[in-house]
Amino acid sequence: MTLRSRLLLAALVVTITVVAALTYVSVRQRSVLTDQLDSQLEVVSDNVSRGVERLAGRFVANPQPRPDELLVTGELYVAFLGDDEPETQVLARPVSQPDFVPDLEDIDLEQAAETREPFSADALDSDTRARVVVTDVGPGHIVFAVSTRAVDDAQNQMFITAAIALGVVLAALAAALWSVDRLGIRPIESVTKAAEDVAAGRSDHRVEHPPVATEAGRLGLAFNAMLDSRQATEARQRRFVADASHELRTPLTTLRGYAALHASGQLSATETDDAMARIHSESKRMEALVEDLLTLASLDEDRPLEYSTIDLSQLLSDLAADASAIQPERPIDVSDIDEGVNIRGDRHQLTQALTTIINNALRHTPTTASLALACGSDEATVRIRISDDGPGIEPEHLGHLFERFYRADAGRERSAGGSGLGLSIAEGIVTAHHGQIDAVSTLGEGTTIAIELPLER
């Protein structure tokens, strides 16, 4: 059963429940009011019948009572029916309904007087009914009756009130159902249709969602964001595969060319040695590229890290010593490395990330440019800075610095500049450690790579 069907069924159940409740209240109200009317009728009849009993003989002897013998009973109808007199002697009439007369033609007065129980009867020349009690007074019967107009009026008012209440409930229920359908069910159906379209290969489909203040709105927004993220991921994957294929094609072409030349016998002994050296160099570059690709794949799969306690102060000092050994003439500043800065992390991966950043600085700045390594911490964060005062990076390249296979210098030789994966790997390693990495550069003043890592994991 669909959600819309369940809502309609719930609305039907609510409507039936409200109607049943109003019906019960109406019936109960009439029963209570009728019981009150009967109680008043019985009390009044008991009191009045005592006075009438002593006049019973007078009514038989003189059917027309004197004015001082008429009873004052408010809204009560009182009449005497003699056993031998065909005419009904009216002793009292209701003040508000002087024409009120109960229809007693088909009533068994003897049985009614014996039970003394109130019963209902029609009223002559009136649109109301009557509640009647009969008392046996020997020579005849006294009939006490009261109009049910008050009960009928209360019942009618109850019906009107119930109809208004039911209308309000139905209107509110209809408004709620419409709102739920518009803000909830239709967006969910739209998301379902979009999901089916995406499963069928139409990934450009998006859903129109209601305001994000609603759950369905947040669902639609999250669904669109998911599709956007999926498209971006697929685009990155396609670009990554294309770039990786392009990077591997050049050394493979070189290897295939030298192999073809050697197979055709066109290489002399000296040329063969040179070809073998070139083949070895290209194979080493392919090996490094494949290793980088495997590292990126491992980072993308969120493989668990091998955590241990790392003394970052000592690690940066060692890396600075390695850089000094590579380029002894380069000035390297380690004065801002605080002592005893420890962190929980993967030693191998963090060493690889920091080494990549330092080697990039060594490779892309003149040896006269100074290199500064800094490290400090507060209660929750470790901050690492690797700075140089080289030529800097142009602003249009700075935002793409951590993209895979991106080179700031498009004309740079691959053999000298690398594959363009180093900083991407460094960013992946920092992200895997729940940290952040950023680059700041000013032309003519240098570049700073800043890393923030949580102190404890």
Looking up residue 380, the CATH number of its domain turns out to be 3.30.565.10
Task: Calculate the CA dihedral of residues 99, 105, 111, 112 and round it to 10 degrees.
Answer: -10
Residue 119 and residue 101 share a domain: yes
Same domain, 256 and 378: no
- My answer on whether 220 and 364 are in the same domain is no
Range scoring the smallest mean pLDDT among 167-181, 227-241, 399-413: 399-413
Alpha helices, H only, 69-118 = 109-115
- The alpha helices in 181-214, defined as continuous H runs, are 186-199
Where are any strands of DSSP class E within 227-283?
none
Q: Residue 186: inside a domain, yes or no?
A: no
From 255, 278, 303, the end of a domain falls on 303
Is residue 450 assigned to a domain?
yes
Q: What is the CATH number of the domain that holds 262?
A: 1.10.287.130
Mark whether 308 and 291 lie in a shared domain: no
How many CA atoms lie within 13 Å of 331's alpha carbon, on the beta-carbon side? 9
pLDDT at 278: 80
Q: Are 146 and 237 part of one and the same domain?
A: no
Q: Is residue 223 part of a domain?
A: yes
Q: How far apart are CA 34 and CA 83, in angstroms?
A: 30
Question: What is the C-alpha separation between 244 and 251, in angstroms, rounded?
Answer: 12
Answer yes or no: are the C-beta atoms of 443 and 392 closer than 8 Å. Answer: yes
310 in the same domain as 274: no
Residue 130 above 50 pLDDT?
Answer: yes
The angle subtended at Cα 144 by Cα 140 and Cα 150, nearest 5°, is 165
Confidence of residue 328 (pLDDT cuts 50, 70, 90): very high
Pairing of strands 342-346, 371-377: unpaired
* 37 in the same domain as 133: yes
Question: What value does the mean pLDDT take over residues 158-179?
Answer: 87
pLDDT confidence of residue 270? 81
**Residue 202 falls within a domain, yes or no?**
no
Would you give the DSSP letter of residue 424? H
Residue at 121 is within a domain: yes
Q: Are residues 97 and 230 in the same domain?
A: no
Instruction: Express each pLDDT in 344-380 by its tens digit.
Output: 888 988 998 999 899 989 988 999 999 999 999 888 8
Domain endpoint, select from 266, 285, 303 = 303
If one counts the domains in the chain, the total is 3
Residues 296 and 318 in one domain: no
Domain region containing 312: 304-457
End-to-end CA separation in angstroms for the chain: 48
Q: CA-CA distance, 238 to 336, in Å (whole number)?
A: 43
pTM: 0.49
Would 142 be classed as within a structural domain?
A: yes
**Pair 144, 135: CB distance under 8 Å:** yes
Same domain, 226 and 348: no
Tokens linked to 316: 């940066």
* Shared-domain flag, residues 57 and 95: yes
Q: Tokens 């993209």 — which residue?
A: 403
Q: Give backbone dihedrals phi and psi of 442, rounded to 5 degrees, phi first.
A: -130, 130
What are 52's two structure tokens? Answer: 């009438």
User: What is residue 387's predicted lDDT score, i.e. its pLDDT?
Assistant: 93
pLDDT-derived band at 73 (thresholds 50, 70, 90) equals low
Q: Residues of the chain with pLDDT > 70: what percent? A: 87
Domain assignment present for residue 247? The answer is yes
Q: pLDDT at residue 35 above 50?
A: yes
- Non-local (6+) Cβ contacts of 347 within 8 A are 306, 308, 310, 315
Pairing of the two strands 101-102 and 129-136? unpaired
CATH number reported for the structural domain that contains residue 93 in this entry: 3.30.450
pLDDT in tens, 170-198: 898 888 888 877 777 777 777 777 777 77
Indicate left, alpha or beta for 434 from its phi (over 0: left) and psi (-120 to 50: alpha).
left
| Residue 241 banded pLDDT, cuts 50, 70, 90 | confident
Domain-terminating residue out of 253, 280, 303: 303
Say if residue 369 is in the same domain as residue 445: yes
Query: Is 110 a member of any domain?
Result: yes
